Amino acid sequence: MIFDATHPDARRAIEAALAEDIGPGDITTNACIDADLMAEARFVAKQEIVVAGSELLSLLFDSPEIQKESGSQLRAGEQIASVRASARTLLTRERVSLNFLQRLSGVATLASKFVAAVEGTGVRIIDTRKTTPGLRILEKMAAAAGGIVNHRIGLYDAVLIKNNHIRIAGGVRQAIERARATGKPIEVEVRTRPELEDALACGAQRVLLDNMTPEQAAREIEFIARRAETEISGGITLENVRAYAEGRPEFISSGAITHSAPAVDINCGIYLL
Protein backbone atom coordinates (compact mmCIF):
# COMPACT_ATOMS: atom_id res chain seq x y z
CA MET A 1 0.00 0.00 0.00
CA ILE A 2 1.34 3.43 -0.95
CA PHE A 3 -0.61 5.19 1.78
CA ASP A 4 -0.37 3.65 5.26
CA ALA A 5 -3.42 4.70 7.26
CA THR A 6 -2.18 2.60 10.20
CA HIS A 7 0.75 4.94 10.81
CA PRO A 8 0.43 6.53 14.30
CA ASP A 9 0.75 10.01 12.79
CA ALA A 10 -2.30 9.36 10.62
CA ARG A 11 -4.47 8.54 13.61
CA ARG A 12 -3.15 11.52 15.56
CA ALA A 13 -3.89 13.85 12.65
CA ILE A 14 -7.44 12.55 12.26
CA GLU A 15 -8.18 12.77 15.98
CA ALA A 16 -6.81 16.31 16.18
CA ALA A 17 -8.83 17.42 13.15
CA LEU A 18 -12.07 15.97 14.54
CA ALA A 19 -11.51 17.57 17.94
CA GLU A 20 -10.76 20.91 16.28
CA ASP A 21 -13.86 20.88 14.09
CA ILE A 22 -16.50 19.19 16.24
CA GLY A 23 -15.50 20.30 19.72
CA PRO A 24 -18.32 19.43 22.15
CA GLY A 25 -20.74 18.66 19.29
CA ASP A 26 -22.15 19.57 15.88
CA ILE A 27 -24.98 21.82 16.99
CA THR A 28 -26.44 22.35 13.50
CA THR A 29 -26.62 18.69 12.55
CA ASN A 30 -27.86 17.57 15.96
CA ALA A 31 -30.62 20.19 15.87
CA CYS A 32 -31.77 19.57 12.31
CA ILE A 33 -31.30 15.86 11.63
CA ASP A 34 -33.06 12.93 13.32
CA ALA A 35 -30.69 10.53 15.02
CA ASP A 36 -32.13 7.42 13.33
CA LEU A 37 -31.75 8.57 9.72
CA MET A 38 -29.29 6.57 7.57
CA ALA A 39 -27.56 7.97 4.52
CA GLU A 40 -24.80 7.36 1.99
CA ALA A 41 -21.90 9.73 1.27
CA ARG A 42 -20.24 9.60 -2.15
CA PHE A 43 -16.83 11.19 -2.65
CA VAL A 44 -16.38 12.16 -6.29
CA ALA A 45 -13.50 13.84 -8.14
CA LYS A 46 -14.62 17.02 -9.92
CA GLN A 47 -11.39 17.35 -11.94
CA GLU A 48 -8.52 15.16 -13.11
CA ILE A 49 -6.51 14.18 -10.04
CA VAL A 50 -4.16 11.66 -8.51
CA VAL A 51 -5.95 10.63 -5.35
CA ALA A 52 -4.19 10.36 -2.01
CA GLY A 53 -5.52 9.68 1.46
CA SER A 54 -8.64 7.75 0.57
CA GLU A 55 -7.47 5.08 3.03
CA LEU A 56 -7.91 7.62 5.84
CA LEU A 57 -11.66 7.24 5.48
CA SER A 58 -11.30 4.01 7.45
CA LEU A 59 -10.25 6.15 10.44
CA LEU A 60 -13.28 8.39 10.04
CA PHE A 61 -16.05 5.90 9.28
CA ASP A 62 -16.91 2.24 9.84
CA SER A 63 -16.44 0.08 6.73
CA PRO A 64 -16.11 2.66 3.95
CA GLU A 65 -16.07 1.30 0.41
CA ILE A 66 -12.92 2.66 -1.20
CA GLN A 67 -13.08 2.45 -4.97
CA LYS A 68 -9.82 4.29 -5.69
CA GLU A 69 -6.72 3.80 -3.57
CA SER A 70 -3.94 6.36 -3.23
CA GLY A 71 -1.94 6.71 -6.42
CA SER A 72 -4.95 6.16 -8.69
CA GLN A 73 -5.43 8.61 -11.54
CA LEU A 74 -9.01 9.81 -11.84
CA ARG A 75 -10.98 11.71 -14.41
CA ALA A 76 -13.64 14.22 -13.45
CA GLY A 77 -16.78 12.42 -12.33
CA GLU A 78 -15.10 9.26 -11.04
CA GLN A 79 -16.02 8.10 -7.56
CA ILE A 80 -13.29 7.73 -4.95
CA ALA A 81 -15.26 6.12 -2.15
CA SER A 82 -18.68 5.73 -0.58
CA VAL A 83 -19.76 5.42 3.04
CA ARG A 84 -23.04 4.26 4.59
CA ALA A 85 -23.65 5.49 8.10
CA SER A 86 -26.02 7.61 10.14
CA ALA A 87 -26.79 10.90 8.44
CA ARG A 88 -25.53 12.73 11.52
CA THR A 89 -22.15 11.01 11.35
CA LEU A 90 -21.74 11.74 7.66
CA LEU A 91 -22.68 15.39 7.99
CA THR A 92 -20.49 15.92 11.04
CA ARG A 93 -17.40 14.35 9.47
CA GLU A 94 -17.88 15.54 5.89
CA ARG A 95 -15.61 18.58 6.12
CA VAL A 96 -12.75 16.84 7.91
CA SER A 97 -12.90 14.05 5.31
CA LEU A 98 -12.79 16.49 2.44
CA ASN A 99 -10.02 18.57 4.00
CA PHE A 100 -7.74 15.55 4.08
CA LEU A 101 -8.75 14.21 0.67
CA GLN A 102 -8.53 17.56 -1.11
CA ARG A 103 -5.23 18.57 0.48
CA LEU A 104 -3.45 15.24 0.11
CA SER A 105 -4.77 14.61 -3.39
CA GLY A 106 -3.55 18.09 -4.29
CA VAL A 107 -0.04 17.12 -3.19
CA ALA A 108 -0.20 13.85 -5.13
CA THR A 109 -1.54 15.57 -8.22
CA LEU A 110 1.20 18.21 -8.23
CA ALA A 111 3.86 15.56 -7.56
CA SER A 112 2.66 13.60 -10.58
CA LYS A 113 3.01 16.70 -12.77
CA PHE A 114 6.63 17.13 -11.69
CA VAL A 115 7.31 13.48 -12.50
CA ALA A 116 5.69 13.85 -15.92
CA ALA A 117 7.73 16.98 -16.63
CA VAL A 118 11.03 15.10 -16.38
CA GLU A 119 9.91 11.89 -18.07
CA GLY A 120 12.65 10.28 -20.12
CA THR A 121 15.56 12.02 -18.38
CA GLY A 122 16.15 9.41 -15.68
CA VAL A 123 15.94 12.13 -13.01
CA ARG A 124 14.09 11.30 -9.81
CA ILE A 125 11.96 14.00 -8.19
CA ILE A 126 12.19 14.17 -4.40
CA ASP A 127 10.33 16.11 -1.74
CA THR A 128 11.59 18.23 1.18
CA ARG A 129 10.79 19.02 4.82
CA LYS A 130 8.68 22.01 3.74
CA THR A 131 5.48 20.44 4.98
CA THR A 132 2.46 21.49 7.03
CA PRO A 133 3.37 21.15 10.74
CA GLY A 134 1.85 17.96 12.11
CA LEU A 135 1.03 16.56 8.66
CA ARG A 136 4.49 15.65 7.38
CA ILE A 137 4.01 11.89 7.22
CA LEU A 138 0.66 12.24 5.45
CA GLU A 139 2.03 14.76 2.96
CA LYS A 140 5.11 12.63 2.33
CA MET A 141 2.88 9.62 1.64
CA ALA A 142 0.75 11.75 -0.67
CA ALA A 143 3.84 12.92 -2.55
CA ALA A 144 4.94 9.30 -2.97
CA ALA A 145 1.46 8.45 -4.26
CA GLY A 146 2.11 11.00 -6.99
CA GLY A 147 5.24 9.15 -8.06
CA ILE A 148 8.11 11.02 -6.40
CA VAL A 149 10.80 9.65 -4.08
CA ASN A 150 10.66 10.68 -0.42
CA HIS A 151 13.75 12.49 0.87
CA ARG A 152 14.56 12.39 4.60
CA ILE A 153 11.54 12.40 6.88
CA GLY A 154 13.12 14.62 9.51
CA LEU A 155 16.38 15.80 10.99
CA TYR A 156 16.94 12.40 12.58
CA ASP A 157 17.25 10.03 9.62
CA ALA A 158 19.84 11.54 7.26
CA VAL A 159 22.77 13.97 7.22
CA LEU A 160 22.31 17.08 5.10
CA ILE A 161 24.90 19.78 5.75
CA LYS A 162 23.45 23.12 4.67
CA ASN A 163 24.97 26.56 4.27
CA ASN A 164 24.23 27.62 7.86
CA HIS A 165 25.91 24.45 9.18
CA ILE A 166 28.94 25.22 7.00
CA ARG A 167 29.11 28.81 8.18
CA ILE A 168 28.88 27.96 11.88
CA ALA A 169 31.17 24.92 11.68
CA GLY A 170 33.85 26.97 9.94
CA GLY A 171 33.71 25.48 6.46
CA VAL A 172 32.73 22.48 4.36
CA ARG A 173 35.67 20.35 5.48
CA GLN A 174 35.07 21.01 9.17
CA ALA A 175 31.37 20.21 8.88
CA ILE A 176 31.99 16.97 7.00
CA GLU A 177 34.68 15.77 9.38
CA ARG A 178 32.35 16.27 12.34
CA ALA A 179 29.43 14.61 10.55
CA ARG A 180 31.41 11.42 9.96
CA ALA A 181 30.74 10.46 13.57
CA THR A 182 27.09 9.79 12.69
CA GLY A 183 28.07 6.86 10.49
CA LYS A 184 25.47 7.93 7.94
CA PRO A 185 25.96 8.93 4.28
CA ILE A 186 26.74 12.63 4.00
CA GLU A 187 25.04 15.11 1.70
CA VAL A 188 26.37 18.65 1.45
CA GLU A 189 24.68 21.75 0.07
CA VAL A 190 27.10 23.77 -2.08
CA ARG A 191 26.74 27.14 -3.73
CA THR A 192 30.21 27.77 -5.15
CA ARG A 193 32.92 25.80 -6.96
CA PRO A 194 35.33 25.95 -3.97
CA GLU A 195 32.63 24.51 -1.69
CA LEU A 196 31.97 21.80 -4.26
CA GLU A 197 35.65 20.95 -4.54
CA ASP A 198 35.92 20.67 -0.75
CA ALA A 199 32.84 18.43 -0.57
CA LEU A 200 34.20 16.08 -3.23
CA ALA A 201 37.69 16.01 -1.69
CA CYS A 202 36.20 15.05 1.67
CA GLY A 203 34.17 12.21 0.22
CA ALA A 204 30.61 13.56 0.38
CA GLN A 205 28.28 10.92 -1.07
CA ARG A 206 25.82 13.48 -2.45
CA VAL A 207 26.09 17.17 -3.24
CA LEU A 208 23.11 19.48 -3.38
CA LEU A 209 23.54 22.24 -5.95
CA ASP A 210 21.52 25.08 -4.48
CA ASN A 211 19.98 28.11 -6.18
CA MET A 212 21.85 27.76 -9.46
CA THR A 213 20.59 28.40 -12.95
CA PRO A 214 20.08 25.34 -15.14
CA GLU A 215 23.24 26.25 -17.03
CA GLN A 216 25.31 26.62 -13.87
CA ALA A 217 23.99 23.35 -12.46
CA ALA A 218 24.79 21.50 -15.72
CA ARG A 219 28.38 22.77 -15.63
CA GLU A 220 28.84 21.63 -12.04
CA ILE A 221 27.33 18.21 -12.79
CA GLU A 222 29.82 17.82 -15.63
CA PHE A 223 32.63 18.81 -13.24
CA ILE A 224 31.43 16.30 -10.62
CA ALA A 225 31.61 13.54 -13.23
CA ARG A 226 29.72 11.03 -11.07
CA ARG A 227 32.19 11.29 -8.19
CA ALA A 228 29.11 11.90 -6.03
CA GLU A 229 25.37 11.79 -6.51
CA THR A 230 23.90 15.14 -7.50
CA GLU A 231 20.73 16.87 -6.36
CA ILE A 232 19.44 20.21 -7.58
CA SER A 233 17.29 22.41 -5.36
CA GLY A 234 16.17 26.00 -4.96
CA GLY A 235 13.50 27.73 -7.01
CA ILE A 236 12.37 24.56 -8.80
CA THR A 237 8.99 24.94 -10.50
CA LEU A 238 6.94 23.01 -13.01
CA GLU A 239 7.99 25.56 -15.60
CA ASN A 240 11.75 25.10 -15.15
CA VAL A 241 12.19 21.57 -13.79
CA ARG A 242 12.70 20.11 -17.28
CA ALA A 243 15.53 22.55 -17.98
CA TYR A 244 17.27 21.45 -14.79
CA ALA A 245 16.66 17.79 -15.58
CA GLU A 246 18.41 18.15 -18.92
CA GLY A 247 21.64 18.58 -16.94
CA ARG A 248 21.21 14.95 -15.84
CA PRO A 249 21.40 15.14 -12.04
CA GLU A 250 20.27 12.06 -10.16
CA PHE A 251 17.73 14.02 -8.14
CA ILE A 252 15.77 17.27 -8.20
CA SER A 253 13.99 18.39 -5.03
CA SER A 254 11.15 20.85 -4.83
CA GLY A 255 9.48 22.21 -1.72
CA ALA A 256 6.57 23.35 -3.89
CA ILE A 257 5.25 19.80 -4.03
CA THR A 258 4.15 20.03 -0.42
CA HIS A 259 4.13 23.71 0.53
CA SER A 260 2.41 25.08 -2.58
CA ALA A 261 0.14 22.30 -3.81
CA PRO A 262 -3.40 23.62 -4.40
CA ALA A 263 -6.26 21.59 -2.97
CA VAL A 264 -8.15 19.69 -5.66
CA ASP A 265 -11.90 19.73 -6.21
CA ILE A 266 -13.62 16.74 -4.61
CA ASN A 267 -17.33 16.66 -3.84
CA CYS A 268 -19.11 14.80 -1.06
CA GLY A 269 -22.77 14.25 -1.84
CA ILE A 270 -24.91 12.83 0.99
CA TYR A 271 -28.13 10.98 0.16
CA LEU A 272 -30.79 9.46 2.39
CA LEU A 273 -31.21 5.69 2.20
d(Cα 131, Cα 182) in Å, to the nearest integer?
A: 25
pLDDT tens digit string along 161-181? 999 999 999 999 999 999 999
Q: Read off the pLDDT of residues 193-231 as tens digits, 9 standing for 90 and up.
A: 999 999 999 999 999 999 999 999 999 999 999 999 999
DSSP 149: B
- Give yes or no: 162 in active site: yes
Structural domains in the chain, sorted by start: 8-115+261-272 (3.90.1170.20), 116-259 (3.20.20.70)
Is residue 250 annotated as part of the catalytic site, yes or no? no
Check if the beta carbon of residue 100 is closer than 8 Å to that of residue 234. no
Which of 84, 152, 162, 219 is catalytic? The answer is: 162
Residue 112 burial (CB < 10 Å; 0-12/13-18/19+)?
buried
pLDDT for the residue numbered 1: 52
| Residue spans of beta strands (DSSP E) within 68-220 | 73-74, 79-86, 124-126, 159-161, 186-190, 206-210
pLDDT above 70: percentage of residues in the chain: 100
Assess contact for 31 and 98: CB atoms under 8 A: no
Q: Exactly one of 42, 84, 95, 227 is catalytic; which is it?
A: 95
- Going by C-alpha positions, the residue among 193, 194, 185 that lies closest to residue 229 is 185
Q: Can you name the residues that pair with 189 across neighbouring β-strands? A: 208
Strand partners, 161: 188
Let me know if 26 is a catalytic residue.
no
Query: pLDDT digit string (tens) for 16-26?
Result: 999 999 999 99
Residues 6+ apart with CB under 8 A from 11: 59
To the query of whether residue 210 is one of the catalytic residues in this protein, the response is yes
- In angstroms, the CA 129 to CA 227 distance is 26
Task: Quote the CA–CA distance of 208 and 251 in Å, as a whole number.
Answer: 9
- Catalytic residue (one of 210, 220, 231, 242): 210
What does pLDDT average to over the chain? 97
Which amino acid does the sequence have at 105? S
Distances (CA, A) of 227 to 3, 117, 197, 202, 224: 35, 26, 11, 11, 6
